[in-house]
Structure 1
Amino acid sequence: MRKNLTAEAIRALRAEHPKPRARDFAEEQGIAEGQLVAAYVGQPHGPVRIEAGPKRLLPLVTALGDVMALTRNESAVHEKRGVFGEYKGSDHVGLILGREIDLRVFPSHWVSAFALEEPGDDGSMKRSIQVFDAAGDAVHKIHLKPESDAAAFAALVAELRLPEQSSDLPVAPRKAEPGPKITSENLAAMRAEYDAMTDPHQFIMMVQKHGFNRLGAYRALGAPRCKLLAKDTVTTVLEAASQGGFPIMIFVGNAGMIQIHSGPVEKIMPMGPWINVMDPRFNLHLRADHVAEVWLVEKPTKIGPAVSIEAFDAQGGLILQMFGRRDAEDTYAGVEQWNALVRGLPPVEMELA
């Protein structure tokens, strides 16, 4: 249960504890990160509340030029440099499709948004757009870089600024992960429908129809469709892809956003409990100690199986997904290298409650 603190009380606590990162401070104090940001609305160099809906917000982000897009969950942070392309979507789902900025957007979770301008330690101005869900958890952040267009940022803020600039942010309780859902009597029907899939996007609606969720379906489907792998598989695969030099896709998301990297990974750096990709245009930060289960999954498609590595936390939440990717010449060489790599990983015995 999160504390019900006033904006003034939050600012006072932050003054006593200025060093932790915003998200870490919020977690330590039992508040939402969105409440911490909102607490400074109206203060000198404080954030400005703006419209949160992606249909209005994201088309204006294109004019900012080269930025850093950040999407995270409890266990992984995905940071990608690039220019936002055209936003296409409905009230239910939106898309930005690009080689660098590649996003799947779920607008119902875009509840509050802020534009921030904060003086940096070096005297420069740090600018960002930060979006939060109903629980006050970060959905997506866009950080301007020195190459970004500051005038376009000012125009965006002027266009989307809300009349009401409150420093209070009411939040709903954070939804708990449901854990694996399995409906044993529907297993045969689900397996038959799974084997008849022609597109991996059919998967979620199919398993929900039969009373499963993603993790429950993987556990129930079993080999050869789904195989449990060692917990350190993500690190093993990142290092192998780096050494092999072939492109891969890495998906990290939360309820409101999925962000995708497509391309090589080069500099793999372990640091304490974290495994990191530290490339010039892409960073990944994964809490390896949060990984409780890793699955090799082969979903049938019209053009051959879509082979993924998928990591889950102890609560059953999806941390990230990894796939092969066609190479720059649009051939399947990268996919074939990926498939050979992950299919060669040894399965482990399922020791699950």
Structure 2
Amino acid sequence: MTLDLVSTPTPADLRQARLDHPKTRARDLADSFGVTEAALVAAHVDGTHVVRIDPALNRLMPAIQRLGDVMALTRNQSVVHERKGTYEDYHAGAHASMVLGAEIDLRMFPRHWVHGFAQLDGPRPSVQVFDAAGDAVHKVFLTDGSDRAAFDTLVADLRLPDQSDSVTLTPRAPVEGAKSRPEKLEELRHEWAAMTDTHQFLRLASRLKMNRLGAYRIVGTQWAQALEPGAVTELLHLAATNAVPLMIFVGNQGCIQIHGGKIEQVKPMGPWINVMDPRFNLHLRTDHVAEVWLVSKPTRHGMAWSVEAFDAEGGLITQIFGKRDPDTVAFQGLLEKLPRAQRGAA
């Protein structure tokens, strides 16, 4: 499916495209027409189908908490993370905010919550937020257990004066490829060994003018071992078979969504590997996985291990950690079975 228009499609063109392809996923349809998903959603703003709403977290999150049971969705180019639950325990922050519910666990970065919409019709009304470039940051879909009256109140309270059917966007920031500084290797190893919290890692890499993947490629097998691209799929199968709980992180610039617990049904479908559990779904494009690293970081509570997948451009796809004691040893047992890359550490 391609667009045969010479110029950029108008909102009317996009509305017609939606009518012509009702079963196509919104992101796939937008990509096929060379526009962002935010532009496709904005084209339907009319007060009946879609309404523009304020995406400011301190207004939006309290309203979402009142919706009851919903489905939270966060994605990037390569993986979709869907978790049912109730938004609970919201913590506001100028630079980072959190939702720390029993099922829905989020880390949010407010400056990327730029364009907000409420989808009013269809089988699953929703709240959808996009960044300045028009890429999806986070979505909340109503379920059969949601409070529709609370959703209607959310729309009425957060409705913006501007209800235009087009959206002004800024260029998408390019993915930063692996950035290493071999001359800083000994300093990297020394400070890595001295870490007491996993959150210290990004500050360490930034101070040394490196990034996550660049540091993994040079630090050595004591801290980062290269795995085969199929290791992520293997880990999901092993965790399901052995009932070992995982912490599965999926994020973009504006939001990181975390599943904590066991997974049960792992199913391949074409290039996708899927977790299809009643309260949690994961859909990962295995053909996007270019590098996988088994990473260990010291903390004050002991070693933290993760399996981290990257795409061909160096973008982070997902991180998978084990849950803390009493499951740490079981997770380590799964890691020992993962296929190491033949090339060794890059």
Tell me the TM-score range normalised by the shorter chain. over 0.9
2:44 pairs with 1:40? yes
**Contact 1:191-1:221 at 8 Å conserved across structures:** yes
Aligned to 2:306: 308
Q: How many residue pairs align between the two structures?
A: 340
Alignment map for 1:258-337 (pairs within 5 Å)? 258-326=256-324, 332-337=325-330
Residue ranges of structure 1 left out of the alignment (5+ in a row): 121-125, 327-331
Distance 2:82 2:18 in 1: 26
Q: Residue 260 of structure 1 aligns to a residue in which SS? A: strand
**Contact 2:78-2:288 at 8 Å conserved across structures:** yes
Residue ranges of structure 2 left out of the alignment (5+ in a row): 1-6
2:331 pairs with 1:338? yes
Matching residue's letter, 1:347: R
How many Å apart are 1:352 and its aligned residue?
Answer: 8.9
Change (3 A) 1:233 1:346: closer
Aligned to 2:68: 65
Deviates further, 183-192 or 207-216: 183-192
Aligned to 1:140: 138
Matching residue's letter, 1:94: S
Q: 1:81 aligns with which of 74, 81, 84?
A: 84
Aligned to 1:178: 176
1:77-126 Cα deviation digits (max 9, x unpaired): 00000000021121200011122100000111000010111133xxxxx2
Share of identical aligned residues, percent?
Answer: 51
Matching residue's letter, 1:336: V
2:334 pairs with 1:349? no
Distance 1:172 1:196 in 2: 40
**Contact 2:11-2:165 at 8 Å conserved across structures:** yes
**Contact 1:55-1:87 at 8 Å conserved across structures:** no
**Contact 1:248-1:334 at 8 Å conserved across structures:** no
Distance 1:284 1:19 in 2: 20
Aligned to 2:55: 52
Matching residue's letter, 2:326: A
Distance 2:105 2:314 in 1: 25
**Contact 1:32-1:137 at 8 Å conserved across structures:** yes
Distance 1:187 1:66 in 2: 48
2:221 pairs with 1:223? yes
Aligned to 1:212: 210
Aligned to 2:3: none
CA-based RMSD: 1.5
TM-score (norm 2): 0.95
Q: Residue 52 of structure 1 aligns to a residue in which SS? A: coil
How many Å apart are 1:346 and its aligned residue?
Answer: 4.1
